[in-house]
Amino acid sequence: MSHDPNCLFCKIVAGQIPSRKVYEDEHILAFHDIHPWAPVHILLIPKQHLSSLAEATDAHAEVLGRMTVLAPKLMRELGVTNGFRTVINTGADGGQEVYHLHMHVMGGPRPWAKG
């Protein structure tokens, strides 16, 4: 499995930096965002280092599909019942800050309307 020793999220996957885990399997880690924009705001990341969605290939289709299917399951488990938003920021112009692909999943009343 690919790993970047300088990547913040790779360090979280390796257990070098603590996180509030929501879910983990051999391919995906989900944890609470440390700067939430919504009452429930989690990040889903592939454990394998992938710098951004722009770098994804057919080889990543399975893990990306798993992340997409996992998001609503985790939102239900976390009590989100009236909808949620998924966001993948890609590249500098797309607002990506950590260069390890991650899906924001935000639920609660109008999570995108943060002041």
Task: Please state the domain extents for the chain.
Answer: 8-113
The Cα 31–Cα 26 span in angstroms is 15
pTM beyond 0.75: the answer is yes
Query: Quick one: pLDDT at residue 112?
Result: 59
- Structure confidence by residue, pLDDT tens digits, 21-65: 999 999 999 999 999 999 999 999 999 999 999 999 999 999 999
pLDDT recorded at residue 109: 72
**Annotated catalytic residue within 41, 49, 100, 102:** 102
Mean of pLDDT values over 82-87:
94
Phi-psi region of 86 (alpha: psi -120 to 50; beta: other; left: phi over 0): beta
Gyration radius of the chain over CA positions: 14
102 is catalytic: yes
What pLDDT sits at residue 108? 85
| CATH 3.30.428.10 describes domain 8-113 | yes
| Per-residue burial over 104-115, b = 16 or more CB atoms within 10 Å of its CB, e = otherwise | bbbbbeebeeee
Q: How far apart are CA 66 and CA 94, in angstroms?
A: 23
The tokens of 40 are what?
């429930």
